[in-house]
Amino acid sequence: MMLRARLVTRLPFSATELRSVLSPLGQAELLPGAAYADPAVFELERTRLFEQSWLEVCRSEEVEDPGAFVLAPITPEGVLVTRGADLGLYAHLNVCRHRGALLTRDRAGRCGAFVCPYHSFRYELTGRLSEAPGTADLEGFRLAERGLATVRVAEWKGFVFVNLRADAPPLVEALAPVPEHLERLHVTPLRLGRRVEHEVAANWKLLIENFQESHHFRTVHQALERWTPFERSSSFVREGAWLGGTMDLVDEAETVSLDGQRHGRPLLGGTSAVDRRRVYDYFCWPNLLLSAQPDYLLSYRIWPLGPDRTRVTADVLFHPAAFVEGFAPSDVYEFWDVTNREDREICESQQIGVGSRGFGRGRYTSSEDGTHAFDGRMAKFYMEHLET
């Protein structure tokens, strides 16, 4: 088995500070402010966390047809995910093996092959080099040895994941055990209703921490508090890829929307009577957030762009039977446009504050067990890379 070298990094906090995060909830302190702003911390996260984990990059329906591709911003050049003519799923680094030009700058598209815009080297969707102008007389040059650099790719419940590590465990092992509710939920056939992308002027961890607790509903999300009150929320903390929690609907609500009603939208498949009165939130380490409402699924893909900048891809997915004539779920879209903006603004406010000399590392409230669990995982990650 290939052994990975341990990267030792000069981080702007101590083992003592990190151990205080790992204390029991009632004794723990938050991560140091430098964890959200220091460039060295961000670079460590990018190279040793995001570039070595299974990352969700798109829905299968986006690369359903041969030639469809998505460019995932995992690395500076990006990872191309595409469907081949054989209906196989392929992923490659987006760089020509000749002189290093990027094959595409498009975030998504469709093509019959990837042709380098510099010297017209042609790569099939499988990554195989099929044409290399000007190389016919070169000694020892073989097309079969010059294909694109391959990246591991796998599908799970209609989500596509990639991993840059050749020795990483299979995706199904990395995700196991999947929470019981999510395991039986019929996520694979869901279809995209709408996508919105935005950038947040905040560190990616602040977005995850915010997702992991409902304590802020009363002050930040009054509309959300109306349908899923903070008092009806709970968290589940476990080892493995998943953290999350539940929020029970008030008696008069059928779902989370402007008026709390489903308006005939079908329920998600695999739901029980309890599920129809409950919202399930899931964080899949390290970049996917899911929120299963009774009649739709919210998906948030998190892409760290810098210490204080994060791209969010927000999808709303519905049961395929919902897409009938007259289907117009504006009550869902408008509700989450407001709620997501509220989250964005409070996280951007935090980003300024955690860099202040006035930030003294707060304590977790009793309801922030999910946030504490996520921060604890980050603290363990940092401790593995502290300079000794």
Mind listing the pLDDT tens digit for each residue in 276-321? 999 999 999 999 999 999 999 999 999 999 999 999 999 999 999 9
Mean pLDDT of the chain: 95
| High-pLDDT (> 90) share of the chain, % | 94
| High-pLDDT (> 70) share of the chain, % | 97
Altogether, the residues listed in the chain come to a count of: 388
Long-range contacts of 37-41 (CB under 8 A, 24+ apart): 37/203, 37/307, 37/308, 37/351, 37/354, 37/355, 38/11, 38/12, 38/307, 39/307, 40/9, 40/10, 40/11, 40/12, 41/11, 41/12, 41/307, 41/382
Write out the two tokens for 275. 């599920």
Q: What is the predicted pLDDT for the residue at 8? A: 54
Mind listing the pLDDT tens digit for each residue in 184-224? 999 999 999 999 999 999 999 999 999 999 999 999 999 99
Whole-model pTM: value is: 0.94
pLDDT band at 1 (very low <50, low <70, confident <90, very high): very low
* CATH classification number, 55-167, choose in 2.60.40.10, 3.40.50.2000, 3.30.70.360, 2.102.10.10: 2.102.10.10
- Judged by average pLDDT, the poorest of 3-17, 204-218, 365-379 is 3-17
Q: Where are the domains of the chain?
A: 55-167, 178-383
Homologous superfamily assigned to 178-383: Naphthalene 1,2-dioxygenase Alpha Subunit; Chain A, domain 1 (3.90.380.10)
Q: Is the pLDDT of residue 251 over 50?
A: yes
Q: What is the predicted pLDDT for the residue at 360? A: 84
pLDDT band at 9 (very low <50, low <70, confident <90, very high): low
- Judged by average pLDDT, the poorest of 5-14, 79-88, 334-343, 346-355 is 5-14
Write out the two tokens for 350. 């935090």
pLDDT band at 4 (very low <50, low <70, confident <90, very high): very low
Q: What is the predicted pLDDT for the residue at 2? A: 38
Alpha carbon 207 to its chain's center? 11
What is the DSSP code (8-state) at residue 325? T
What is the DSSP code (8-state) at residue 75? S
Q: What is the predicted pLDDT for the residue at 3? A: 39
**247-259: average pLDDT:** 98
Residue 286: asked if its preceding bond is cis (omega within 30°), the reply is yes
Q: Matching CATH topology for 55-167 and 178-383?
A: no
pLDDT band at 236 (very low <50, low <70, confident <90, very high): confident
